[in-house]
Structures are given as C-alpha cells and as structure tokens.
Amino acid sequence: MAKRLFTSESVTEGHPDKLCDQISDAVLDAALNSDPKSRVACETYATTGLVVIGGEITSRTQIDYDTLARKTIEEIGYAGPDSGGFDAHTCGILVCVKGQSPDIAQGVSTAKEHRDEDSNDEIDKLGAGDQGLMFGFACDETPELMPLPISLAQRLALKLSQVRKSGILPYLRPDGKTQVTVEYDEKGVPKRIDTLVISTQHAAKINGKTDNLDLQKFIEADMKEFVIKPVVDSLGHLIDKDTKYFINPSGRFVIGGPQGDAGLTGRKIIVDTYGGYARHGGGAFSGKDPTKVDRSACYAARYIAKNIVGAELAKQCEVQVSYAIGVAKPISVSVSTFGTGKIKDAALGDIINQIFDLRPLAIIKKLNLQNLPKLNKGVFYRNIASYGHFGRPDLKLPWEELDKIKELQKAANGAFAAA
C-alpha cells in the first residue's frame, strides 16, 4: 500500500448539531431513568433564539421538556449575554411530541418469531425497531483500539471544552471544531501528524484586543500551549517540523452555536463513530432508545470488533449486522479483517455467531442499555452525545469491555486446528 493521508474531524459540545444531540439524549435519559422500557425517538432542531423538540415517545415518565432543554443548554455554556448570542434563559422552546406509532410498536413488542412461530424464547419476543445495516470497527492504532485520526480529533475537542469550562481560557465560547490529518506509511502504520486544525468560538475582545489578526495570533498561541500540547505530548514522535497548524483560519469566530448555524439531531454520525475510517450504515444514535438497532446494534458490533482485535485475532476488524423491522434475529452478520486476520474471515464469522447473540433484547440485556441512566444518577446517554460513542477512556462504557478475549481465542484455536 502506498503512503497516504487520512483526516478525521470532531466538534465540541457547543456545536449546534451537538447541542441538539445532547438535548435529545437528555430526553432519553429522563425517560429511561423512570421507565426503562420507554420507547423514544426524539429529534431536536435549534436556530437563532429557538429550540424545537419533536418525535415519538411512549413512556410512563412525565418529562418537563422545557426545563430539561434549558438546563442542558446552560450546562453547555450558552447562558447570559456574553455566551455567543444564544441564551438558555431567553430562547424559545417548542415541543411537538406524540406517542410511538402503534404499527411500529406491535412489531417491536411482539417479534415475527413470536407471531409466526409461537416461540417461547423470551429473547425472541422483542423485534428490531427498524430495518437497516450497522457497522462496528476496531484497530490497534491506539490503546482504546480506535483509529488515530478520530481519537486525536475527539481528544482535542474535549480539551477545548475543558480549558473553557475550567477558566484556563475564559475568552473561549462553546462552539468549536477540530481536525487531524495523519500520514500512514506503506504498511498502513501511522507515521506522523501532517496537519492539525482548530476553529474555536471566542469573545469579541480578548485582553483589550479587537483586531482580527491580533486575536488570531493570541488564540493560536494559547491553542498550541493549552490544547494541542497536552493532547499530543505522548505522541511527540509523530509531530515534526513539517506538521502544519491552522488555528481559526477564517480569522474570526465570535458568532457561533445555533446563533450562527442551525443545528439538528443526528447530523454528526461520522464524528460519533470512526471519523470516516470505517463504513457507516447511515443511522444516527442520539435520542433513540435501545430497541432502535441503529444505536444498540452499532454498540454491539463495536463490542465484537474490539474484542477480536483485543484478542489479537486481527489488527483491524469491521463487523456488519443487518435487521428487518419487527424481526428478532439478524438478517446477516459479516466480518472483514482486511487481510490482517489470523484465521479466515468466514471462520471468524462462524465464531461470532457462536459466541455473540445479536438479537435486540440479547444486546440490551448484555450491555444493560435500558438501565444505564438509572445506574449513572439519571444521566448517561447525554454524556456520550459529544466526543464520540466509542473509545472514550474517560468513561466506562459497557460496549468497550474486553471480556470475550479468552473465549474468542479458544474458539479461534479450535478453528485453526480444524483447518
């Protein structure tokens, strides 16, 4: 393979799309915290001075959408006259929520296996909440078994918010984006960081300065010292004299968040996953309860792929699973190790089918997806709505556990012996 460059981006929690993701997942947390079997499909839209919450929600929980949305917006950092133009206290909140369609509900609550075959297996009872295809991926480029470009982009975005909220750089505002370009050698191994891009919202005046060029130079120095350096220090060997930096390359970023650009739930699906390094089935995560396989099956596929790479059965692994709405059993399960596997992909696929149960209720029970908000003081899904749903060494996520390594290695040894 020839030398190549690969780029991934991330955004901060104050990005308008991410603000919407967090509101939708705050609604999900509130519903599941009191009623773990809630059916939630919540979409949020934000623009200048307005937030619209819509979707289909069936739950025994009484949700105060207005208070929940304002609290989320305020905690992100949009509160008061100096927060970038959008204000949790003064924005309008419009709620347009109804119950889940009975046509969908009957197919999910009583799967085709129960309707047609009269199955007595409890796990067969819950059907997939939609049709679709989902992917999970892992590789050995980082300790958390994620691709290096997205791992660095997420860490930079998180650090950008941390230095703002801690007061280290008080002139920063909530909106921001990061981007990392990594150069890979002929063997596909990360060789160096080619380019780092950070665009961060900021106050109109910093230390008395208002000139755009002065502000840009000031911000660039702080970004290198307080954001980039702490993140890449452990990767110093990947930074060289030719690494390029673009800090607020537009020259000015005062108007941001929903005041500068409309936001919508589910518009950052590549940021949420692998930064474009692996394939994506197209379904978003935020605002969806675990019966929606767009979310739960992607978590399960990541869990499988990570354990395969953790077991050293491959250096890269991508797992695809597909479903039909109202059917419990997956339509297909596929695995690819891109030529890095120690056994053939077909044999590895057989092992996956033996070890992992990918029916929706089995995934929900294994990863405890309906109870995670209650187990985390009422807030779980909102915490992963920013900075990625995978990797995340800062959080303890059940689909990141490496608890199937020995079982996979034993099965692989058996397959190798049989071959």
Question: Which residue in the list 56, 140, 144, 407 is annotated as catalytic?
Answer: 56
Measured N-to-C along each axis, helices 293-310 and 360-367 cross at an angle, to the nearest 10 degrees, of 60
Q: Is 261 a catalytic residue?
A: yes
Question: Which residue in the list 13, 21, 29, 43 is annotated as catalytic?
Answer: 43
Q: Is 175 a catalytic residue?
A: no
* Secondary structure of the chain in HEC code, one letter for each residue: CCCEEEEEEEECCCCHHHHHHHHHHHHHHHHHHHCCCCEEEEEEEEECCEEEEEEEEECCCCCCHHHHHHHHHHHHCCCCCCCCCCCCCCCEEEEEEECCCHHHHHHHHCCHHHHHHCCCCHHHCCCCCCCEEEEEEEECCCCCCCCHHHHHHHHHHHHHHHHHHCCCCCCEEEEEEEEEEEEECCCCCEEEEEEEEEEEEECCCECCECCHHHHHHHHHHHHHHHHHHHHHHHHHHHCCCCCEEEECCCCCCCCCHHHHCCEECCCCHHHHCCCCCCCCCCCCCCCECCCCHHHHHHHHHHHHHHHHHHCCCCCEEEEEEEECCCCCCCCEEEEECCCCCCCCHHHHHHHHHHHCCCCHHHHHHHHCCCCHHHHCCCCCHHHHCCCCCCCCCCCCCHHHCCCCHHHHHHHHHHHHHHC
Question: Which residue in the list 29, 175, 294, 318 is annotated as catalytic?
Answer: 294
Q: Is 112 a catalytic residue?
A: no
Give the residue from 7, 19, 106 showing the smallest Cα distance to 70: 19
Q: Is 267 a catalytic residue?
A: yes
Question: Which residue in the list 39, 112, 292, 404 is annotated as catalytic?
Answer: 292
From first to last of the 419 residues of the chain, give the pLDDT tens digit. 578 999 999 999 999 999 999 999 999 999 999 999 999 999 999 999 999 999 999 999 999 999 999 999 999 999 988 777 799 999 999 999 999 888 787 778 877 777 776 667 788 888 898 899 999 999 999 999 999 999 999 999 999 999 999 999 999 999 999 999 999 999 999 999 999 999 999 998 888 777 777 888 899 999 999 999 999 987 778 999 999 999 999 988 999 999 999 999 999 999 999 999 999 999 999 999 999 999 999 999 999 999 999 999 999 999 999 999 999 999 999 999 999 999 999 999 999 999 999 999 999 999 999 999 999 999 999 999 999 999 999 999 999 999 999 999 999 988 765 55
Q: Is 209 a catalytic residue?
A: no
Question: Which residue in the list 15, 159, 164, 382 is annotated as catalytic?
Answer: 15
Q: Is 240 a catalytic residue?
A: no
Q: Is 113 a catalytic residue?
A: no
Q: Is 56 a catalytic residue?
A: yes
Question: Which residue in the list 75, 140, 220, 261 is annotated as catalytic?
Answer: 261
Q: Is 140 a catalytic residue?
A: no
Question: Which residue in the list 13, 17, 25, 29 is annotated as catalytic?
Answer: 17
Q: Is 306 a catalytic residue?
A: no
